[in-house]
């Protein structure tokens, strides 16, 4: 049997892997490109388990990859959705400060968003908050009218269709189990036989560190799976939320805290919390992988993180177990909400990079060796920034691999 060959293998059929494949094929239509996805369908993990918010770029450190690629990616995404008739709505976000202690952080967020080029930002008082979100609490707020919502699974499927239309191949149910780098090629062992590729781009999400460990460029960080559970508002309570209601973020954490999200299908989600998942793809409390959990608990970076923030971690776990505690947190921002107006909803798992010193990786992180490029850390706003991340990887592939 002849050995299967490709110019480029992309590992991972999530929204970032598909966007990267699309950008590479747009630049080199003759490229023999194959996407290898271990699941039976594309976009089954972070790409299909998210709130659907198209971020404007408020939160990210100026000059970081997140700040630059979120801004560029949002513009590209909006144009793409318009071109492909994918519903996208700018419904706006209000970030609310509940007490005077949060007001300085709210102002810092305004300054950061302004530096990042976010359009239309407005610091507002309680009267304006009530105009935008009549049922929300808050003594001061930040209004971001450019924040939008979309179905990112639909976006990812559109990327996949275009990748195939440009001649790329997407092979689902094909996991990469090992890689051997040779002088002029990379041999990938997969669950459907070997594949020889001239170059590889890995966009493996929750498996990013494990894929990196197969190569000459192992990742210094580890991917830690954080599960986020949502409640959904029952239909009679949905009018309590017009758009997006967010808390002032804690700068120590990459998580935004519980918030309210009106989705493109009209549902309203409330949450998420952020707790350690007991499996890399552990969407339910009972999903446990001894291998995954043991690997996390033995990692010195996680031990340091847990020792530093154990109180916060315990509070998150308690809210995960107690609906009363979860709803109590939600009612701080939406006082009229009752426990009987919410029901347990979907969950997602965030692939969060964690360095050995216990520091959560706060930016997108890319890396690579002579023949392999890695997208090592790409949590939110990666879906918003997907086309821009793909363009960045394509630029690096042009430089490193000699692609034009």
Convert the pLDDT of each residue in 18-67 to its tens digit.
999 999 999 999 999 999 999 999 999 999 999 999 999 999 999 999 99
pLDDT > 70: what percent of the chain? 98
**Is 325 found in the same domain as 233?**
yes
Outline where DSSP puts E strands in 27-121: 33-37, 53-54, 88-89, 93-97
Same domain, 259 and 354: yes
Confidence of residue 391 (pLDDT cuts 50, 70, 90): very high
- Residue 80 is predicted with a pLDDT of 98
Looking at residue 191, the DSSP 8-state letter turns out to be B
* 9, part of any domain: yes
* 368 phi-psi bin (left φ>0, alpha ψ -120 to 50, beta other): left
Q: What is the per-residue burial (b if ≥16 Cβ within 10 Å, else e) of 270-290?
A: bbbbbbbbbbbbbbeeebebe
**Cis upstream peptide for 272 (omega within 30°):** yes
**Over residues 122-134, mean pLDDT:** 98
Instruction: Tell whether 115 and 260 lie within a shared domain.
Output: no
- Mapping DSSP to helix (H, G, I), strand (E, B) and coil, where does residue 167 land? coil
pLDDT band at 252 (very low <50, low <70, confident <90, very high): low
Among residues 344, 360, 376, the one where a domain terminates is 360
> What span, in angstroms and rounded, lies between the C-alpha atoms of 148 and 261?
10
Note the pLDDT of residue 222.
96
- Last-in-domain residue among 124, 145, 166: 145
Give pLDDT, residue 83. Answer: 98
Residues 6+ away with beta carbon under 8 Å from 402: none
Residues 294 and 310 in one domain: yes
Residue 396 lies in a domain: yes
Task: Say which residue, 34 or 398, is predicted with more confidence.
Answer: 34
- CB atoms under 10 Å from CB of 298, counted, come to 9
Structure tokens at 376: 């090592």
pLDDT of 404 reads 60
Residue 112 shares a structural domain with residue 256: no
**Residues 382 and 343 grouped into a single domain:** no
H helices of 268-385, in order, are 290-298, 300-308, 310-321, 323-331
Instruction: Using CB atoms within 10 Å of the CB of residue 77, give its burial: 0 to 12 exposed, 13 to 18 middle, 19+ buried.
Output: buried
Distance of CA 38 to the CA centre of its chain: 19
Model confidence at 98: pLDDT above 90: yes
- C-alpha neighbours within 13 Å on the C-beta side of residue 305: 24
- Taking the C-alpha atoms of residue 46 and residue 13, their distance in angstroms, rounded to an integer, is 11
**Does one domain contain both 158 and 39?**
yes
Tell me: do 231 and 315 sit in the same domain. yes
pLDDT of 255 strictly over 70: no
Taking all residues of the chain, what is their mean pLDDT, rounded to a whole number? 95
Residues 148, 95: Cα–Cα separation, whole Å: 14
Nearest to 331 by CA among 404, 270, 262: 270
β-bridge mates for residue 227, sequence order: 275, 349
Helices and strands per DSSP (H, E), number in the chain? 11, 20
> 380: domain CATH number?
3.50.50.60
Last residue of a domain, which of 342, 360, 378? 360
**pLDDT tens per residue, range 195-218:** 999 999 999 999 999 999 999 888
| pLDDT above 70 for 253 | no
* Residue 107 domain-assigned (yes or no): yes
Q: Please tell me the total count of domains within the chain.
A: 3
Rounded to whole angstroms, how far apart are CA atoms 217 and 228? Answer: 30
DSSP reduced 3-state for 241: coil
Q: Specify if 246 maps to a domain.
A: no
Q: Are residues 227 and 328 in the same domain?
A: yes
Same structural domain, 214 and 259: no
Residue 117 has pLDDT above 70, yes or no: yes
Q: Are residues 269 and 326 in the same domain?
A: yes
Report pLDDT for 3.
Answer: 59
pLDDT tops 90 at residue 370 = no
The pLDDT, as a whole number, for residue 257 is 81
Q: Is the pLDDT of residue 2 over 60?
A: no
Is 222 in contact with 359 (CB distance < 8 Å)? no
Residue 63, domain member (yes or no): no
Examine residue 185 and state whether it is found in any structural domain, yes or no: yes
Q: How far is CA 96 from the centre of its chain?
A: 23
Q: Which two tokens stand for residue 256?
A: 């935004």
Q: Does some domain include residue 54?
A: no
Q: Say which range, 19-23, 76-80, 181-185, has the weakest mean pLDDT.
A: 181-185
**Per DSSP, which regions of 203-298 are E strands?**
222-233, 244-247, 259-262, 268-271, 275-276
- Residue among 227, 170, 181 nearest 203 (CA): 170
84, part of any domain = no
Residues 232 and 345 grouped into a single domain: yes
Range of the domain at 336: 222-239+252-360
φ/ψ of 95, rounded to 5, equals -95, 125
What is the arithmetic mean of pLDDT over 116-136? 97
HSE-up (13 A, CA, CB side) for residue 312: 13
């Amino acid at each position: 049997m002849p050995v299967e060959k490709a110019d480029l293998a992309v590992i991972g059929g999530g929204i970032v892997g598909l966007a990267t494949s699309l950008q590479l094929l747009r630049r080199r239509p003759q490229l023999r490109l194959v996407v290898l996805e271990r699941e039976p369908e594309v976009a089954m993990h972070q790409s299909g388990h998210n709130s659907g918010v198209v971020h404007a770029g408020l939160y990210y450190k100026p000059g970081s990859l997140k700040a630059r690629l979120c801004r560029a990616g949002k513009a590209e995404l909006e144009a793409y959705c318009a071109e492909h008739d994918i519903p996208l709505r700018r419904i706006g976000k209000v970030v609310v400060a509940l007490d005077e202690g949060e007001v300085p952080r709210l102002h810092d967020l305004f300054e950061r968003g302004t530096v990042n080029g976010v359009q239309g930002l407005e610091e507002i008082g309680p009267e304006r908050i009530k105009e935008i979100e009549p049922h929300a609490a808050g003594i001061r707020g930040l209004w971001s009218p450019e924040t939008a919502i979309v179905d990112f699974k639909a976006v990812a499927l559109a990327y996949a269709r275009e990748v195939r239309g440009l001649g790329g191949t997407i092979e689902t149910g094909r996991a990469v189990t090992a890689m051997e780098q040779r002088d002029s090629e990379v041999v990938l062992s997969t669950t459907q036989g070997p594949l020889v590729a001239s170059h590889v781009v890995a966009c493996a999400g929750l498996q990013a560190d494990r894929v990196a460990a197969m190569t000459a460029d192992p990742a210094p960080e580890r991917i830690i799976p954080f599960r986020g559970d949502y409640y959904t508002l029952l239909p009679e309570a949905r009018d309590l939320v017009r758009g997006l209601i967010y808390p002032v973020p804690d700068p120590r954490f990459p998580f935004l805290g519980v918030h309210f999200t009106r989705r493109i299908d009209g549902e309203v989600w409330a949450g998420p919390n952020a707790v350690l998942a007991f499996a890399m793809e552990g969407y339910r409390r009972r999903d446990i992988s001894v291998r995954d959990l043991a690997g996390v608990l033995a990692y010195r970076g996680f031990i340091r993180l847990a020792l530093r923030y154990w109180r916060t971690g315990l509070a998150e776990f308690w809210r995960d177990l107690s609906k009363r505690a979860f709803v109590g947190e939600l009612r701080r921002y939406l006082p009229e909400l009752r426990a009987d107006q919410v029901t347990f909803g979907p969950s997602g798992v965030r692939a969060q990079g964690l360095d050995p010193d216990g520091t959560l990786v706060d930016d997108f992180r890319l890396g690579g060796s002579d023949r392999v490029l890695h997208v090592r850390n790409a949590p939110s706003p990666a879906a918003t920034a997907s086309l821009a991340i793909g363009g960045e990887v394509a630029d690096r592939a042009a430089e490193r691999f000699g692609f034009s």
